[in-house]
Amino acid sequence: MNFKRIQWIFILAFLLFDIFVGSSLILETRFTVSNGQPNRQSTVLKEMHNDSISYGDLSNKQQTGYYVAGKRSTDGGVLEQESGRLHNQNAHFSSGTLTSDFDKPIKLSKDNPLHRVNRLLKNKKMVALGDNYRYNRELSDKNNIVYTQMLEGKPLISNDGQIRFHVNSDHELTGYTQTYLQDVEILRQRSNTISQQRAVTWLYKHNQIPNNSRIRWASLSYAKLLNTTTDDKAVYVPTWVVEIKTKNSGAIQQLEVNAFNSTVMKETPDSVNTNSLNNK
C-alpha cells in the first residue's frame, strides 16, 4: 500500500516535470525558429503590451508613395477664382483661406450626416473644387466635419488642403473654411514606405509612446517636409500620423513619422533656398 502511494507521487511529480519543461521547450523553440524581422517586430509588440500600451490591428504591409510639391492657393489662385461661382453663402478669401457662412444653415440627418455633405461637395455652386476632397474621420469631431484634399490617393494632413465644416448644436452646417493645394507635381518615382506596424514600433523603440496609453489610429498621409523659394512651393512626404491617448490624464497627442526614412517629422518644416537652382 505504501509502495503504491509512493509510486503515485512519483508518477505525478514526473508528469508535472514533463509538462512544464516540455511546454517551455516547445515555446522557446518556436521563438527561435524564425529569426527574421517579423519575429523581432512581434517581440517589440509584446514589450509594448507589457508596458500597457494598447493598439488595434496594425498592418505589416509596405505601401508606396511619392515626394510631392505643391503651392497653397493664395490671392488670385485657383481657389479664389473658383469661389466666384459660389451661391447661397457669404464667402470671402484672405491669406490663402476661404471662409464662408451659409445663408441658411443646412440640416443634417442624424443617421447619415455625410450623405448631405458629400452632395454639397459635388455641387460647384456650394463648394469650390469639392471633387478633390474626401471625408476624414480621424480629424472630425462633434463640432467639425473635416474633409482633406487627396494627393495620389492619400489625404494631405497639413492645413494646406482642407475643408472644415462647422456644425452647430442643432446638428446643422453653418459654414466652412477651405484651403487648397494647387500646381501639384510629382518630384520622384514611386517608392516603398514603411508599414503601419513598423511606424508604431519605431516610435515605441525611440521612447515616443508613453506607458499606459492607447494608440487611437495611425494613418498614412502627406505632410509638409520643406518650404522652398521656387514659386513658394512646399515639398510633401508620405507620413505616418499616429494619435496617442494617455489613459490616466486623457491627453491626446499626434506623432508624425516620415514613412520614407523613419525619422520624426519636425514641428516647423525647414525652409530651403532654391534660387540658385532656378538661375540659368
Partner 1 sequence: MMRKLKSNWQSIALTIVVIISLFISWIFWTNPFPYEGARHENYNSNQSQQYTPQSMGDVYLPTKAIETTKNGNQNQLHSPKANLILSVKKELQHWKLGRTNIVKQNNSDVYLSYLRRRNSLMLTYPDEIPSAVFDETFSQSIDTDRVNQINHIVIPLNGQHEIYLLGDHHYSVYRVRVEKGNFGNIRRLLTSMEKIPVDHKIINGVAVMMYPRSFELPELGYQVTAQNIDTLSASLMSTNQHTTITANRNGNETTYTDGTNRRLIFNRQNGTMKYENYLSKDDRESTSQIFPHFYNKLTAIGIPLDNLRYDEVSNHGRQLNYRAYVNSFPIFNSNGYGEVTLESKNNGNEQYWMSLYSLQVPLPINHQMVKLPSSTDVINQLHATNRMRDIKDLRVGYIWKNSSNSSHVVKLIPTYFIKYHGRWVEYTELNK
Of residues 145 and 257, the one with the C-beta less far from partner 1: 257
> Minimum CB separation from partner 1 for residue 78, in Å?
17
The CB-of-20 to partner 1 minimum distance in angstroms stands at 10
Q: Which of 59, 60, 62, 212 is close enough to bind partner 1 by CB under 8 A? A: 62
Write down the least CB distance from residue 51 to partner 1, Å: 15
C-alpha cell at 210: 508613453
Tell me the per-residue interface mask from 172 to 211 with partner 1, x by CB under 8 A, - otherwise: -------------xxxxxxxxxxx--x---x--x------
Shortest Å, Cβ 26 to partner 1: 10
Q: Does residue number 61 form part of the binding site for partner 1 (CB under 8 A)?
A: no
Q: What is the three-state SS of the chain?
A: CHHHHHHHHHHHHHHHHHHHHHHHHHHHHHHHHCCCHHHHHHHHHHHHHHCCEECCCCCCCCEEECCEEEEECCCCCHHHHHHCCCCCEEEEEECCEEEEEEEEEEECCCCCHHHHHHHHHHCCCCCCCHHHEEECCCCCCCCEEEEEEEECCEEECCCCCEEEEEECCCCEEEEEEECCEEEEEECCCCEEECCHHHHHHHHHHCCCCCCCEEEEEEEEEEEEEEEECCCCCEEEEEEEEEEEEECCCCCEEEEEEECCCCCECCCCCEEECCHHHHCC
Stretch that binds partner 1, among 39-47, 107-115, 129-137, 160-168 (CB under 8 A): 39-47
- Beta 97-107 vs 191-193: how paired, if at all? unpaired
Question: Nearer Cβ to partner 1, position 126 or 225?
Answer: 225
**Is residue 32 within the footprint of partner 1 (CB under 8 A)?**
yes
- Strands 234-246 vs 252-258: parallel, antiparallel or unpaired: antiparallel
| Closest distance to partner 1 from the beta carbon of 279 (Å) | 9
Nearer to partner 1, 86 or 272 (CB): 272
Of residues 238-277, those binding partner 1 (CB under 8 A): 259-263, 272-274, 276-277
Query: Is residue 49 at the binding interface for partner 1, with CB under 8 A as the rule?
Result: no
Please report whether residue 153 would count as binding partner 1 according to CB under 8 A: no
Residue in 228, 217, 231, 222 with CA at minimum distance from that of residue 260: 222
Q: Is 228 in the site for partner 1 (CB under 8 A)?
A: yes
Residue (81 or 278) nearer to partner 1, CB: 278
Q: How far is CA 29 from the centre of its chain?
A: 37
Rule CB under 8 A: which residues touch partner 1? 4, 7-8, 10-11, 14-15, 17-18, 21-22, 25, 28-29, 31-32, 35, 39-40, 43-44, 62, 64, 66-67, 69, 185-195, 198, 202, 205, 225-226, 228, 230-231, 233, 235, 237, 259-263, 272-274, 276-278, 280
